[in-house]
Amino acid sequence: MSEVDEVDDDLTGTETDTDVGEGYDAERRLVVEYEEDPIENYDTRLLLIGLGLSFLFGLGVGIVAFVTQGGV
């Protein structure tokens, strides 16, 4: 318990605290830039890839079904 009593909770703005603040601001800017362009958004990219692959799969199944039913 003595180690807990000796914790330094001085948050007066040391050099390390300033560096953390600047890094945090840079990280926020990076997140804002990342969210502004929707095609760069990872979830949007996965959605578009998934829709494209499902379309191609459905098209392939439709062509195979059409050919096997004697449609050609």
List all residues 6 or more positions away from 41 whose beta carbon is below 8 Å from its beta carbon: 34, 35
Confidence of residue 12 (pLDDT cuts 50, 70, 90): low
pTM score, whole prediction:
0.41
What confidence category does residue 27 fall into, taking pLDDT thresholds of 50, 70 and 90? low
d(CA 62, CA 68): 10
